[in-house]
Amino acid sequence: MRYLPLTDADRREMLGVIGAKSVDELFRDVPESARREGLVDLPRRKGELEVERLLGRMAAKNVAAGSVPFFVGAGAYRHHVPASVDHLIQRSEFLTSYTPYQPEITQGTLQYLFEFQTQVAMITGMEVANASMYDGSTGCGEAVLMAHRVTKRRKAVLTGTLHPQYAEVVKNLSEFGGYELEIMPPALPGEAFDVTDRICDKTSCIVVQTPDFFGELHDLRAIAEAAHAKGALLIAVVPEIVSLGAVTPPGEMGADIVVGEGQSIGNGLNFGGPYVGLFATREKFVRQMPGRLCGQTVDAEGNRGFVLTLSTREQHIRREKATSNICTNSGLCSLAFTIHMSLLGEEGYKRLARVNHAAASKLAGLLSKVPGVEILNRTFFNEFTMRLPKPAAEVVDALVEKGVLGGVPASRLWPGRPEVENLLIVASTEINTDDDRAAYEAALKEVL
Amino acid sequence: MSGMNRQGRPTAIGNTAHSGSRNSTFTGNRALELEEPLLFEIDNPGACGVDLDEPEGFTSHLGALERKGRIGLPSLSEPEVVRHYVRLSSKNYSIDAGLYPLGSCTMKHNPRLNEKMARLPGFSDVHPLQPQQTVQGAIELMSELAHWLRELTGMPGVALSPKAGAHGELCGMMAIRAALIARGEDAQRTRVLVPESAHGTNPATAALLGYKVDAIPATDEGRVDLEAFKSKLGPDVAAIMLTNPNTCGLFERDIVSIAKAVHEAGAYFYCDGANFNAIVGRVRPGDLGIDAMHINLHKTFSTPHGGGGPGAGPVVFSEALAPFAPLPYVVSDKKGFRLVETNEEAKADGTTPFGRMTAFHGQMGMFVRALAYMMSHGADGLRQVAEDAVLNANYVLASLKDDMSASFEGPCMHEALFDDRFLKGTGVETLDFAKAMIDEGYHPMTMYFPLVVHGALLIEPTETESKQSIDLFIATLKDLARAAKSNDKERFTGAPFMAPRRRLDETAAARKPVLRWTPSAPAEAAE
């Protein structure tokens, strides 16, 4: 087997040193009833070529986003990733290294984490950020638990325009953790978004997504003020992180914790994972933060260096008293994020955001003229919601037949709610050309 | 702070008095070892690493929320960015470069075929919410991976979505809690039994669900004390969380009796599957009486550790827990493969998922890599994986037991545990011993874990090391042990001397945390 270097001669010699007759002897502590003599019922080993054939066949059954006019978003976005990003993250020294527990020989990982934390804090407008979470949705769940710790309260309020699957993750953690949770019904773009009356002196936090699930932008200032007046925290959720190149960041609007999905920068769609959760907060809350943190220090010769720090919050030290059970971050995805962000820089990041906004604005302009289509948003970044004259799921399926991936029907995530059945959430990014948009317009006209 | 360069590194030749350190240079570089400032310190205003045209001819829909002012991100061209990260990468140890004997972490070779497969556009460039008829191959891959996991573990239920090992633990314990709720025994069962030797994630996970954690002592043989364990069982126990093979690298001989006692007491058996590499293809956890177990795809199935993630932690379930597995899950019928994503669909399907662990469907990129690894090995190769991993660890144990102090009698499974008795009276501690290994070109083993022995040194060579490589490693440790015992203390207490950095001051880092660069940070002031 090509990955196993021991030869039969090696094995015999090693067994001799150990003083065992056979490898079976080494497994003698396994209870007899559980010892398997034969092989499990699975295929035998395969060469590279054969594995490539089998997996290639499966891959070929999927419609790759890059092969069609593509307008799907709702929490994951297709962007162009510069070629150097994937090259750099595949360097052995990054790809095949472990968590930097030995800082003397992992300064590469530690320094990029420190730079990543700085970039995340900057773009969210916050003071500090951690070394990343699994993804935006789990980061959102952890943010709510953190707010409970900070405020010593037990009730969270989720606004109805939070990504429904993010809300389910929070609900799951809250139910099992014994916390109270209020999930507000979806508020469509254009409908009143008055959430401040839900906050009381038992509320630990209110969670608001912007751009929200329907693409609408929210000014968080009044919500932050209302939350703070009652001693509660404002958690802002940003699933499309490119938006912050053009939109006022939550940190400048009074957010106490900002959770983001970083997939858009440096990371592909990957059918939903791995992604990278961004997590930023105020300095005064840092000891209540979940996840890994990288900090600056000096070595024995006074040279600047970096280490994982404040690990007394973490499970390997605190065990059942830890702030979270998290034992990892999304290392390589955070590396991809930080490299792409470095390539963009101040100007590139802002321009990319403008290009995205322009792409969606142009698409909205075209589609709004299709008979029967109503665009609900007053504001948006690169994603908006259309009301169609018939169920959106049917329209999306019909668009597939025309070779267009036209968006996400709200009913896929909110089944059984008649008020969202005809809503289609549509995203357009820098990948879309004028031809793509024209193809969408033409196909939509045909299927409606 | 005169004589410091931009990186805060002394530049004057002979400025460093510490023994073992080499002469300094003007740049701070040492030939191929290149110092690298922070990104923010090499800002090149006006440069940009991407070419994008300014958009024209559109109407803004940002309302009053347009971002104003500078963010503070540095500007760099592509060559500057590439050089920055290449230089940073040179400061990392990696499994591709050398033996990485971290016990309990399974640092094995990461085949590049797996990287290639994960990058096929049909897997990497598909959206999680594309219409399901356009992603049949992706769902098929999930179904196939679930099939391999079921066969290898002998357990009928699978949840693929957990994002990492600890997330899988949480998923498994939630399923247990859901089953207890369904039985009407949730209020009564409030205690979870966790051996002293467990990973820290086990008690942290139990605590997240509101359980009281009760520690089970170990015997002198490094295993669960069966009598002490039985005496702790009662009608208030929800579950036991046990690692098998355990963190001492030993198979829990009494595991079948433990499972029987757990079930008789009406509780469930959670197994931490971090060490599955030792038994894959040889022992099926389902045959041991386990109810739920997470599988670290980044350990046993070789998806790259990536400097700390992303991992993946699918969970397998017994018949009793399978109906509670979370959303989403895969079903197949004549029409093809289908992801069940909502409670409404699950209801129609007759299952009772406890909820959802994450948005979307889990770590697809890791699923592709793990399946490529499994297919490459096959049933025969995977069994060989376990056998070679165990053989290598026992070879290390047998070869070093006279030089270092082995904590327990062999045979061990995939990792060999030593403690610090062999360092007694030398003035060298476990940490020093480990740091001296760095100068010899090795990543240290896991230190001070498990907690059940003093000054633990836990070595996991994995099956992808050659005998030649292990022989040199053994010889190196023998030499270090000899040096420690012959009063060559300085080789240890100041180590490492030759790494990109000497020992770092972790206390200072925690006392006054500097977690980001700011224009006025001390590092900048040192210029």
* Contact criterion met (CB < 8 Å) for A332 and B307: yes
Q: For the segment A253-297, what is each residue's pLDDT rounded down to a tens digit?
A: 999 999 999 999 999 999 999 999 999 999 999 999 999 999 999
Q: Are residues A114 and A73 in the same domain?
A: no
Is there a contact between B432 and B447 (Cβ–Cβ < 8 Å)?
no
Work out the minimum CA distance from A320 to partner chain B, whole angstroms: 4
Q: Tell me which of A340, A367, A382 is where a domain ends.
A: A340
In this structure, what token pair is assigned to residue A309? 């720090």
**So what's the pLDDT on residue B8?**
52
Flag whether residue B464 sits within 8 Å of chain A, measured between CB atoms. yes
Q: Name the token pair of B91.
A: 């400061």
Looking at the structure, tell me whether residues A228 and A336 fall in a common domain. yes
Residue A49 resides in a domain: no
Pairwise CB contact (< 8 Å): B127 & A76: yes
Which residues of chain B make contact with A36, given a CB cutoff of 8 A? 281-284, 287
Q: What percent of chain B has pLDDT over 90?
A: 90
Q: How many CB atoms lie within 10 A of CB B257?
A: 16
Mean of the per-residue pLDDT values for chain A?
Answer: 96
d(CA A333, CA A339): 10
Which pLDDT belongs to residue A316? 76
Please tell me whether residue B482 adopts helix, strand or coil conformation: helix
Contact at CB, B40 and A177, closer than 8 angstroms: no
Final residue in a domain of this structure, among A340, A371, A387: A340
Are A268 and A81 spatial neighbours (Cβ–Cβ below 8 Å)? yes
Instruction: Assess whether A172 and A212 both reside in one domain.
Output: yes
CA A177, distance to chain mean position in Å, is 23
Per-residue pLDDT tens digits for A168-221: 999 999 999 999 999 999 999 988 888 889 999 999 999 999 999 999 999 999
The Cα of B28 is separated from the nearest Cα of chain A by a number of Å equal to: 10
Instruction: Tell me whether residues B76 and A61 touch, CB distance under 8 A.
Output: no
Residue contact A320–B213, C-beta within 8 A: yes
Same domain, A177 and A262: yes
Residue A21 falls inside a structural domain? no
For testing contact with chain B, the best of A119, A237, A265, A327 (most B CBs within 10 A): A327
Q: Could you tell me the CATH superfamily of domain B378-499?
A: Aspartate Aminotransferase, domain 1 (3.90.1150.10)
Average pLDDT over residues A371-391: 98
CB of B4 closer than 8 Å to CB of B526: yes
Instruction: Among A340, A371, A404, identify where a domain stops.
Output: A340
Provide DSSP, B201-249. HHHHHHHHTTPEEEEEPBPTTSSB-HHHHHHH--TTEEEEEEESS-TTS
On chain B, the residues whose CB falls within 8 A of the CB of A104 are 435, 438, 496, 499-504
Q: Report the pLDDT value the prediction gives residue B511, as an integer from 0 to 100.
A: 94
ipTM of this predicted complex? 0.97
The domain of A425 spans 69-80+345-447
In a domain, A269, yes or no: yes
Mean pLDDT of the B100-121 span: 97
Give the model confidence (pLDDT) of B206-259 as tens digits: 999 999 999 999 999 999 999 999 999 999 999 999 999 999 999 999 999 999
Residues of chain A found within 8 Å of residue B282, distances taken between Cβ atoms:
27, 30, 35-36
In a domain, A364, yes or no: yes
Contact A288, A149 (CB under 8 A): yes
Closest CA–CA distance from residue B35 to any residue of chain A (Å):
11
Q: Could you read off the pLDDT of A120-176 as tens digits, one per residue?
A: 999 999 999 999 999 999 999 999 999 999 999 999 999 999 999 999 999 999 999
d(CA A407, CA A428) in angstroms, rounded, equals 9
pTM: 0.96
Cβ within 8 Å, pair A244-B67: yes
pLDDT at B16 over 60: no
Q: Across the interface, do B358 and A134 touch by the CB < 8 Å criterion?
A: yes
Whether residue B204 and residue A137 make contact (CB cut-off 8 A), yes or no, is no
Average pLDDT, stretch A55-63? 98
Residue A60 lies in a domain: no
Distant-in-sequence, close-in-space partners of B83: CB < 8 Å, separation ≥ 6: none
Is residue A59 in a domain?
Answer: no
B398 touching A, CB under 8 A? yes
For residues A354 and A327, membership in a common domain is answered with no
Among the partner-chain residues B133, B395, B443, the one whose CB lies closest to the CB of A14 is B395
Confirm whether A397 is domain-assigned: yes
Residue range A26-44, pLDDT digits in tens: 999 999 999 998 999 999 9
Chain A residues with CB-CB distance to B63 below 8 A: 217, 378-379
Average pLDDT over residues A396-425: 97
Provide, as residue numbers in chain B, all residues whose Cβ is less than 8 Å from the Cβ of A384: 61
What is the reported pLDDT for A324? 78
Together in a domain, A156 and A283 = yes
Tell whether A150 and A111 lie within a shared domain: yes
The answer, yes or no, to whether residue B4 has pLDDT greater than 60, is no
Cβ distance A273 to B360 under 8 Å?
Answer: yes
Q: Return mean pLDDT, chain B.
A: 93
With H, G, I as helix, E, B as strand and everything else as coil, classify residue B239.
strand
Nearest-neighbour CA in chain A from B458: distance (Å): 14
Q: What does the domain layout of chain B look like in residue ranges?
A: 135-372, 378-499
Yes or no, beta carbons of B502 and A300 under 8 Å apart: yes
pLDDT at res. A317? 73
pLDDT value of residue B527 = 37
Q: Do A346 and B74 touch (CB under 8 A)?
A: yes
What per-residue confidence (pLDDT) applies to B5?
A: 52
Alpha-carbon gap, residue A42 to A38, rounded angstroms: 11
Contact A193, A151 (CB under 8 A): no
Question: Do A75 and A101 belong to one domain?
Answer: no
Q: In the CATH scheme, what architecture does the domain B135-372 have?
A: 3-Layer(aba) Sandwich (3.40)
Instruction: Write the pLDDT tens digit of every residue in B493-525.
Output: 999 999 999 999 999 999 999 999 998 644 444
Instruction: Please state the domain count of chain A.
Output: 2
* CATH number, position A214: 3.40.640.10
Paired with A298 in beta bridges are: A304
Q: Quick check: is A62 in a domain?
A: no
Instruction: Quote the DSSP letter at residue B219.
Output: P
pLDDT digits (tens, 9 = 90+) for B348-368: 989 999 999 999 999 999 999
Q: How far is B489 from chain A (nearest CA, A)?
A: 17
Answer whether A45's CB lies under 8 Å from B430's CB: no
> DSSP states of B403-454 as a string?
TSEESS-S--SS-EEEEGGGGTTTT--HHHHHHHHHHTT----EES-STTST
